[in-house]
Amino acid sequence: MIIFLYGQDSYRINQKLQELINGYKAKNPSGFNFFSHDLSEYSLKELKEKLTNNSFIPEKKLIILKNIFKIDPKAVLEIFKSQNISKRDDMIVIAISFIDSDKSEFFKYLIKKPNQAQNFKMLKEYEVKNWTKKLLNSTKIDLTGEAFDFLIHNCGYNLWLIDSEIRKLANFSHQDGRISRVISKSQVEELIVSNTKQNVFELTDALAKKNKKNALMAFYKVLENGSPPSETLGLLAWQVRNILLFKASPEFLRIHPFVLAKIKESASLFSADELNKILLKIIDLDLAFKTTQLNEKTAISLLISEL
């Protein structure tokens, strides 16, 4: 069985991936047959061994393959066909790519039935607003109309950032023991701290210049401002995703001119491959935060050191 998740909306790909992993773990609790690999760091030989080796554990295999087109697509296609991966019921392969389309035979194979393919295109403006309202409802908070519009505008229709800011607002709303409350525009303005974003700009700038010391200093500045590490991870994902979008279609990036200028500067220092690699590591870490007791500060510090 093959599940192909692709498209530019890395946030919703990450959410879908978490949903699939949780469903798998509910049915296969041992976790011994769960594997996740970034093919930009994997060889064709290793991939073939992983797909062909039988398991001694009587549970279905789940193999996540990120950056699915980073190894010779023709060779990978031949492996998939020779092992009849599409029709196997003892194995689930989740293939991930942050592209919307591709002319290769491998891409055509992945989107063809019986494979399950889902294209996560960027949401339109009204879809982002509807998605945001659902997230607000799930966190049992509400915003005034002005506050809602301010939040959407300042987050640039980016789901990573909207998620991060709403969870910050929810923490504020519930800290006095109330189940729910209506939050005003002035409260949103106070809580969405611009200094945090500025330090994230410093963090990505330092990463682009391969200056890990400055990157870690920028991360610690964010923590000193009172922002939790998981929020910083969301902001970093927001920034990386914006740089990727700018490199692909700068005219469609709807964000504040100051933020756009910072993104334009960073875009000249990163390659698309580097950005995709960082984004995948962020997705891995975000998943770990939601499913394990990982120390968030230490984990993000290690991530920065490895980039």
Q: Which residues of the chain have pLDDT under 50?
A: 179
As a whole number, the mean pLDDT across the chain is: 83
Listing DSSP states for 83-122 in one string gives TTGGG-SSEEEEEEES-S---SHHHHHHTSTTSEEEE-PP
Summarised one tens digit per residue, pLDDT across range 107-146 is: 999 999 999 999 999 888 899 999 999 999 988 888 999 9
Predicted TM-score (pTM) above 0.85 = no
Q: What is the pLDDT of residue 169?
A: 85
* Per-residue confidence (pLDDT) for residue 20, from 0 to 100: 94
Domain coordinates of the chain in residue numbers? 2-119, 125-306
Distances (CA, A) of 55 to 58, 60, 61, 81: 7, 9, 8, 20
3-state secondary structure (DSSP) of residue 203: helix
Percent of the chain with pLDDT over 90: 23
pLDDT, position 236: 82
Residue 271 is predicted with a pLDDT of 86
Task: Return the CATH fold of 125-306.
Answer: Zinc Finger, Delta Prime; domain 3 (1.20.272)
- pLDDT of 252 reads 56
- Phi and psi (nearest 5°) for 22? -60, -40
Residue 296 contacts residue 222 (beta carbons within 8 Å): no
pLDDT recorded at residue 148? 92
**What whole-number distance in Å separates Cα of residue 28 and Cα of residue 178?**
38
36: part of which helix (H) or strand (E)?
strand 34-38
Query: What CATH code would you report for 2-119?
Result: 3.40.50.300
- Would you say how long the chain is, in residues? 307
Phi-psi region of 241 (alpha: psi -120 to 50; beta: other; left: phi over 0): alpha
Q: Of 201, 200, 204, 170, give the one whose Cα is nearest residue 187.
A: 170
Please name the residues in contact with 229: beta carbons below 8 A apart, sequence gap of 6 or more: 223, 296, 297, 299, 300
Long-range contacts of 190-195 (CB under 8 A, 24+ apart): 191/165, 192/151, 192/154, 192/165, 192/168, 193/225, 193/227, 195/225
Q: What token pair was written down for 163? A: 């998620």
pLDDT digits (tens, 9 = 90+) for 33-53: 888 888 877 788 888 888 887
Give whole-number Cα distances, 114 to 77, 109, 131, in Å.
Answer: 15, 10, 30
Helix (H) or strand (E) holding 146: helix 145-155
Residue 231 CA to residue 43 CA, distance in Å, equals 34
What per-residue confidence (pLDDT) applies to 23? Answer: 92
Query: What pLDDT score does 109 carry?
Result: 95
